[in-house]
Structure 1
């Protein structure tokens, strides 16, 4: 039975579409696995497809959006962690400065008390020599 007119052309177009879809999906997976930022433009360039073609592929477009949301959520969590860490470090630094001030004051009191004790000791020795 002879092939219908255009059947070979349609088959070839279907195969090209499937190849392009596989390249785009593979590129998307590789970028995600490498921790790269996933964008339509990068996927299109690396997979050798057009950006407009990607937008016509619902499953691929949904996967890209899902990964972008996941990345944004991870970045937000990381930013919160960094902010919390910065805040806790600032708090620890403030407490350390307060403790240093307390210790300086205590050291000064001890120096003063020691100087006074030395003065009393000297005075008592002088009194003992005079007697």
Structure 2
């Protein structure tokens, strides 16, 4: 048996694909059973596969779409994780506004320093006769 026999390579690739598909299906079932929102990114992370690989699997994509539609049609009420996300976003927005105000103050200080430096430069030119 040669190590480079294409039949053995193809068999190994098929087995690896089957194992990966099984792992992704199991992770998808776990996400659905937990009541979590199912996305390609979450599935990829949970199953340890790439998102691009999931997009090449029509059965997985269809199941993800079904779960998303079911969740949307069931009228799920926002859970505490979503509220925490809203609170987190509000906090981030408040911090961003605070940072904007700091940057405005810093910009004004830099403008004042630049104007002062221009004034000194102009005064120096006038005193030496350069114009």
TM-score for both structures, normalised by structure 1: 0.54
For residues 57 and 15 of structure 2, the distance between their equivalents in structure 1, rounded to whole angstroms, comes to 15
**Cα-Cα RMSD:** 2.0
Instruction: Indicate the residue corresponding to 1:25 in structure 2.
Output: 25
What is the SS of the residue equivalent to 2:64? helix
In the TM superposition, what are the counterparts of 1:47-126 in structure 2 within 5 Å? Answer: 47-75=47-75
Task: Provide runs of 4+ in structure 1 moved above 4 Å.
Answer: none
For residues 21 and 46 of structure 1, the distance between their equivalents in structure 2, rounded to whole angstroms, comes to 13
- How many residue pairs get aligned? The number is 77
Query: Which structure's CA Rg is the greater one?
Result: 1
Specify which structure has the higher proportion of helix: 1
For residues 73 and 30 of structure 2, the distance between their equivalents in structure 1, rounded to whole angstroms, comes to 20
What is the SS of the residue equivalent to 2:38? coil
Gaps of 5+ in 2: 79-131
Gaps of 5+ in 1: 80-131
Q: What displacement does 1:8 show?
A: 1.1
What is the SS of the residue equivalent to 1:59? helix
Instruction: Indicate the residue corresponding to 2:7 in structure 1.
Output: 7
C-alpha offsets along residues 85-106 of structure 1, whole Å, 9 cap, x if unaligned?
Answer: xxxxxxxxxxxxxxxxxxxxxx
C-alpha offsets along residues 70-128 of structure 1, whole Å, 9 cap, x if unaligned?
Answer: 0111126x58xxxxxxxxxxxxxxxxxxxxxxxxxxxxxxxxxxxxxxxxxxxxxxxxx
